[in-house]
Amino acid sequence: MTQSVSTICVQGGYRPGDGEPRQVPIYQSTTWKYDTSEHMGKLFDLEEAGYFYTRLQNPTNDFVANKICELEGGTAAMLTSSGQAANFFSVFNIAGNGDHIVCSSAIYGGTYNLFAHTMARMGLECTFVTPDCSDEELEAAFQPNTKAVFGETIANPALSVLDIERFAKAAHDHGVPLIVDNTFPTPVNCRPIEWGADIVTSPTLATNEALISTQTGQGIYELKDLIGSCAKQAESNKRLVADLLEENDLIVLVIPIDSSAPKGRIILPQQMVMRDALDRHAICIACQPENLTETLQACARKPRLVVTDSQAFEQVNRLVPDDLALTSFSILMARYKGNLEDYAAGAARLAQLNDNSKVLIAEGCTHHRQCDDIGTVKIPNWIRSFTNASPHFDFTSGGGFPESLEGYDLVIHCGACMLNDREMRYRIASCRAAGVPIVNYGIAIAEMHGILRRSLAPFPQASAAFKESF
């Protein structure tokens, strides 16, 4: 019965007997025991097959090699420590000092250097031909001492495709083998032996790789699981506020409930900060700005941090004693999704805006605009008051971020709670490439109300970036 590639990937190379483990055992032994020195001597002299030192071979390596052999459709296989080692051994066991090989010029740079320089110092000569050379040019490359032909299935990084059948015929006409590096397509997508290749150097899959077929969809779910696991690992190292807190610390969250607040819930950044603090086993206390004084008085001990909505920054700043650390949900989001140092540096550009300036105000969500909307109404008004000027404003929302930022003097972005990290990194990178400073809502509001230095105090690098921008 013919097995699918997926089955061979899982089951190939290992056939457990009765009472043996279903999965390939991991042999951790360095050496093996033998009853007689004569037997050991035969193993060292390669007169008998077996294992005597794991650096040379062990059963686990053999199982993996057999699996790759099945995938490629070969007759035998061995593992090497690297792809370059595989290419070296495939050639050097056939050709040496005084010999010659023909090689495709469209190959991995390291392999090219191996043949053109390293092995040249060992006395091996190599003639390179382009993969699309004529039959006459290919024939002319052979010499009486040619011992092998080498090429890559799909060249790295040129992506040139080798005509395996044509190169195999030329090699066989001269009585030499064709060696093919099959790293890029893997045996899932191409089996060079079926097209005439004699020796194949093939990759093994690392734990963060997956075999995918765009034709059949094979492996797509494995790829999704892999992407998901990588994303989880990346996110696990990112914290909104927990890294600023210790267990049992008090944190006060100031959440205004006004006409712009959603009915029956609090907005996502506020939820995220609260959850991150709870994950740190901190004690969260939430209140509205008008209840802040009473809330602080009711605390039996000093809070480690006060976090406020940006729109209440000015009011909260007056109410929070100077010896308490104060920041905003938007600033925490800027650190979590974006680059706080870039935003802090961008805040310095606010004071330089004039009547001829052009400002882009960008939001990641597409919520219904209120009459006192923060992006289209409040921030432009604050900028006019702060600068005593009337810059031109453009507005975008959702995915509508401009491809070109030419002509803009400043980009003011929301907290990006509805955008993923990749999209925000792209937007920040676009600003850098265009030489346009970027700042987010919370940092801009804090600067325009004269409290940015205080709100950046918990973040020394961002504070330094802000000061250096003047």
In a domain, 232, yes or no: no
What count of other Cβ atoms lies within 10 Å of the Cβ of residue 346? 27
Task: Please tell me which residue, 406 or 70, carries the higher pLDDT value.
Answer: 406
Distances (CA, A) of 90 to 44, 46, 113, 455: 22, 19, 16, 63
Considering the domain architecture, whether residues 87 and 169 belong to the same structural domain is answered as: yes
CATH number at residue 358: 3.40.50.11410
pLDDT at position 210 over 60: no
Residue 19 inside a domain? The answer is no
From 304, 329, 354, give the residue that closes a domain: 329
Tell whether 314 and 407 lie within a shared domain. no
Is 21 inside a domain boundary?
Answer: no
**Confidence bin at 282 (pLDDT 50/70/90):** very high
Q: What is the CATH number of the domain that holds 86?
A: 3.40.640.10
Read off φ and ψ for residue 344, nearest 5 degrees: -65, -40
pLDDT tens readout for residues 113-153: 899 899 999 999 999 999 999 999 999 999 999 999 999 99
- For residue 58, give its domain range: 5-11+26-225
pLDDT band of residue 218 (cuts 50, 70, 90) is low
C-alpha–C-alpha distance, residues 93 and 68, integer Å: 20
Same domain, 194 and 262: no
Residues 80 and 183 in one domain: yes
| 155 and 269 inside one domain | no
Same domain membership, residue 436 and residue 397? yes
Residues 53 and 173 in one domain: yes
**pLDDT (average), residues 187-203:** 87
* Total domains present in the chain: 3
Residues near 309 by beta carbon (within 8 Å), at least 6 away in sequence: 254, 255, 256, 270, 328, 329, 330
